C-alpha cells in the first residue's frame, strides 16, 4: 500500500490545495509541503532498510498489484527496486526544491498552481512505479497536462507558444508509445498465447518476430523526445525559457529523467536484439547532442536558455551510456540522472533568483553581481563548476563512468563525447565571468531604477553610480534560499566524494538489466 499512497497523497493534496485557496491564499503551499513530506516519510523505511534484508521479491523492494480491467489482464501493478527508489527520492526532494522557489515567485492562482504542481509530480512518481504498460502510459500522460498549464499560465511573455510546442512534441511521443505498447502486447499474444500488459511477464518472453525492431523504434522515439535527444530537443529551450522557476526545476530534475528511465527499464531488456541493432545510430545521436548542446549553450545570452541547452548536452551522456551495454556505463547513467537533476535544478533556481531580483536574465545586462550578491554568486559558482564536471562532484563521477564504460565498447564515440566536457567548461566559465565578475551592472528594471514614463530622467541603465543612493541594490540569499541550495550542494559533494555505496546498491539491478539486454 505504500506505493499506492505515494501516488495518492500528491493527487489528494493537489485537489485539497485548489479547494483551500478560497479560505486562505497561504494554505495551498503548506498543503503541498505536507503532501511531499508525507511521501518522504512513507519512503523512509525503504531508504533506511538493510539492503540485504530488503529484497523481498527478487530484486524488487515492493511489489503490489490489483485487478483493473480483468478482461484484458490489465492490472494496477506497482513495484519498487533500487533504480525506481532513487528516482522517486529525486522526484520528492526536487519537488521540495521547486516548492521553495515557488514560495515567493507564485502570487496568482495559487490553489490551481499547486494543484497542477502536485498532479505533475504524482504522474512522474507513477511513471517510476508502474509495472503495467497501460498504467505506465496513463501516468505518462498525467504528468504532461499539468506541466502544460504550469507553463501556459505562470510562464513568461511567450509562454503559450512554448506550452503548445511542449505539448505537441510530448503528445506525439506519447502516441508513438501507445501504438508501440499495443503492438508489443499483440505480438506477445501471438507468440505465447497470453494476453498481458504486465512488464514482468513481457520481460520473461521477449518477442522475436521481425516486427520487434519497429516496435522498439516506437519506444525509442517516444523516450528520445522526453530525454530530449538531438534532433527532438527543440521544445526544451523554449519550455525552460518561458516556464516559471518551479516548473523549470521539475522539468530539469525529473521529467527529463523519465526518458532515460524508459530507455533503461523498457527498451534495453524488452528488445535486446533490436537495441543492439539501433545502438550505432543512438550513439551517433548521443555524440551529436553532447557537442551540439554545448555549442548552442555557448552562443546564448539568456541564462535560462544557456542552462537549457546544457541539459541537452548532459543528457546526451545518458543516451550514450544506455546503448554502450556496459555495467560501468549504466552506473554512470544512473549517477548522471541524479547529479544532473540536482545541479541543473540548482542553476535554474539561481537564474530564477537573479530574475526575481533584477528582472532580467540577459548576460549582456548583468555583471559584477559578486559585489552586491556574494552568497548567491558563490552558490552560482559552485553549481556552474559542478555542471562543467569538476572532480570531486557528482557530475564528474557520472560522466567519467559513462565515458569509461563506453570506451570499452565504442572507443571512438567516447573520445568524441569527451569533447563535450571541454566545451562545457567554456560555456560555464563564460556564464560565470559575464554575470558574477567585472563591472557591477544593475539593470534599469531593478527597483528604483525603473523608468516611470517616456519623459523620465533616469540615469543610464547598468552602472553602480546610477544605483547609488537608491534602493536598487537587491537583497542577497535569505535563510530559506540558502538552506535549499546548501542541501543541494551537499548532495553533489556526497555523490562526488563517496559514490560507492550508491553504486553497490545499483549493481544487482543494473546487472540484471544488462543480462536481459545482452
Cis peptide bond prior to 240, omega within 30° of 0: no
Of the two residues 439 and 280, the one the predictor is more confident about is 280
Q: Is the predicted pLDDT of residue 389 greater than 70, yes or no?
A: yes
Q: Is the predicted pLDDT of residue 463 greater than 80, yes or no?
A: no
Three-state DSSP state, 132: strand
- What's the number of domains the chain is made of? 1
412 CB neighbour count, 10 Å cutoff = 11
Query: Tell me: the pLDDT tens digits for 27-78?
Result: 999 999 999 999 999 988 887 776 554 444 567 888 999 999 888 889 999 9
Determine the Cα–Cα distance for residues 495 and 417; give it in Å rounded to an integer: 22
Residue 308 lies in a domain: yes
Determine the Cα–Cα distance for residues 482 and 469; give it in Å rounded to an integer: 27
Residue 500 CA from chain centroid, whole number: 23
Query: Tell me: the pLDDT tens digits for 8-23?
Result: 999 999 999 999 988 8
Q: Is the predicted pLDDT of residue 465 greater than 90, yes or no?
A: no
pLDDT at 444: 52
Residue 488 lies in a domain: yes
204 CB neighbour count, 10 Å cutoff = 12
Q: Is the predicted pLDDT of residue 449 greater than 70, yes or no?
A: no
pLDDT at 368: 85
pLDDT at 291: 95
Which residue range(s) make up the domain with 340? 275-445+474-518
Of the two residues 212 and 457, the one the predictor is more confident about is 212
Res. 105 pLDDT band, cuts 50 70 90: confident
Q: Is the predicted pLDDT of residue 266 greater than 60, yes or no?
A: yes
Residue 409 lies in a domain: yes
pLDDT at 51: 55
Mean pLDDT of the chain, nearest integer: 88
Residue 203 lies in a domain: no
What totals of helices (H) and strands (E) does the chain contain, helices first? 23, 2
Res. 372 pLDDT band, cuts 50 70 90: confident
Q: Is the predicted pLDDT of residue 295 greater than 50, yes or no?
A: yes
Res. 442 pLDDT band, cuts 50 70 90: low
Q: Is the predicted pLDDT of residue 186 greater than 90, yes or no?
A: yes
Res. 476 pLDDT band, cuts 50 70 90: confident
Res. 462 pLDDT band, cuts 50 70 90: very low
The overall longest dimension of the chain from CA atoms, in Å, is 81
pLDDT at 54: 46
Q: Is the predicted pLDDT of residue 437 greater than 80, yes or no?
A: yes
pLDDT at 468: 36
Residue 287 lies in a domain: yes
Residue 498 lies in a domain: yes
Q: Stretch 193-206: mean pLDDT, rounded?
A: 90
Determine the Cα–Cα distance for residues 253 and 44; give it in Å rounded to an integer: 21
Residue 190 lies in a domain: no
Amino acid at each position: 500500500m505504500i506505493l499506492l499512497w505515494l501516488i495518492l497523497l500528491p493527487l489528494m493534496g493537489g485537489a485539497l490545495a485548489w479547494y483551500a485557496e478560497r479560505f486562505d491564499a497561504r494554505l495551498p503551499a503548506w498543503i503541498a509541503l505536507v503532501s511531499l513530506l508525507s511521501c518522504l516519510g512513507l519512503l523512509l523505511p525503504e531508504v533506511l532498510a538493510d539492503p540485504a534484508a530488503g529484497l523481498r521479491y527478487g530484486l524488487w523492494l515492493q511489489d503490489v498489484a490489483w485487478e483493473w480491467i480483468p478482461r484484458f489482464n490489465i492490472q494496477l501493478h506497482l513495484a519498487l527496486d533500487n533504480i525506481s527508489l532513487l528516482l522517486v527520492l529525486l522526484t520528492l526532494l526536487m519537488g521540495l526544491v521547486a516548492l521553495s522557489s515557488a514560495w515567493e515567485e507564485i502570487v496568482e492562482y495559487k490553489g490551481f498552481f499547486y494543484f497542477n504542481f502536485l498532479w505533475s509530480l504524482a504522474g512522474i512518481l507513477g511513471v517510476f512505479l508502474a509495472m503495467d504498460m497501460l498504467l505506465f502510459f496513463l501516468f505518462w500522460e498525467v504528468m504532461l497536462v499539468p506541466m502544460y498549464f504550469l507553463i501556459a499560465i505562470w510562464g513568461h511573455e511567450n509562454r503559450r507558444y512554448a506550452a503548445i510546442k511542449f505539448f505537441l512534441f510530448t503528445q506525439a511521443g506519447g502516441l508513438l508509445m501507445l501504438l508501440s505498447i499495443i503492438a508489443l502486447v499483440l505480438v506477445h499474444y501471438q507468440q505465447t498465447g497470453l494476453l498481458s500488459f504486465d512488464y514482468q511477464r513481457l520481460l520473461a518472453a521477449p518477442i522475436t518476430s521481425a516486427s520487434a525492431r519497429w516496435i522498439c523504434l516506437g519506444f525509442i522515439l517516444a523516450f528520445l523526445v522526453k530525454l530530449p535527444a538531438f534532433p527532438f530537443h527543440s521544445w526544451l529551450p523554449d519550455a525552460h525559457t518561458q516556464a516559471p522557476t518551479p516548473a523549470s526545476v521539475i522539468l530539469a530534475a525529473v521529467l527529463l529523467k523519465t526518458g532515460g528511465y524508459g530507455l533503461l527499464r523498457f527498451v534495453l531488456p524488452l528488445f535486446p536484439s533490436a537495441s543492439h541493432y539501433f545502438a550505432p545510430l543512438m550513439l551517433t545521436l548521443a555524440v551529436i547532442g553532447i557537442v551540439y548542446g554545448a555549442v548552442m549553450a555557448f552562443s546564448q545570452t539568456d541564462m535560462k536558455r544557456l542552462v537549457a541547452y546544457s541539459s541537452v548536452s548532459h543528457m546526451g551522456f545518458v543516451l550514450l551510456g544506455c546503448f554502450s551495454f556496459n555495467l560501468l556505463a549504466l552506473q554512470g547513467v544512473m549517477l548522471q540522472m541524479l547529479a544532473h537533476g540536482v545541479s541543473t535544478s540548482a542553476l535554474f533556481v539561481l537564474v530564477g533568483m537573479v530574475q526575481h531580483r533584477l528582472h532580467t536574465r540577459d548576460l549582456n545586462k548583468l555583471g559584477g553581481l559578486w559585489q552586491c550578491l556574494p552568497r548567491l554568486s558563490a552558490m552560482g559558482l559552485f553549481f556552474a563548476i559542478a555542471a562543467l564536471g569538476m572532480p570531486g562532484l557528482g557530475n564528474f563521477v557520472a560522466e567519467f563512468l559513462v565515458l569509461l564504460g563506453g570506451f570499452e565498447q565504442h572507443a571512438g564515440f567516447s573520445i568524441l563525447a569527451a569533447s563535450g566536457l571541454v566545451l562545457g567548461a567554456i560555456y560555464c566559465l563564460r556564464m560565470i565571468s559575464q554575470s558574477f565578475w567585472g563591472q557591477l551592472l544593475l539593470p534599469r528594471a531593478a527597483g528604483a531604477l525603473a523608468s516611470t514614463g517616456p519623459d523620465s530622467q533616469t540615469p543610464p541603465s547598468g552602472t553602480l553610480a546610477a544605483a547609488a543612493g537608491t534602493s536598487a541594490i537587491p537583497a542577497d540569499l535569505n535563510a530559506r534560499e540558502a538552506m535549499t541550495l546548501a542541501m543541494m550542494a551537499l548532495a553533489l559533494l556526497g555523490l562526488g566524494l563517496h559514490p560507492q555505496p550508491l553504486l553497490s546498491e545499483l549493481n544487482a539491478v543494473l546487472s540484471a538489466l544488462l543480462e536481459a539486454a545482452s
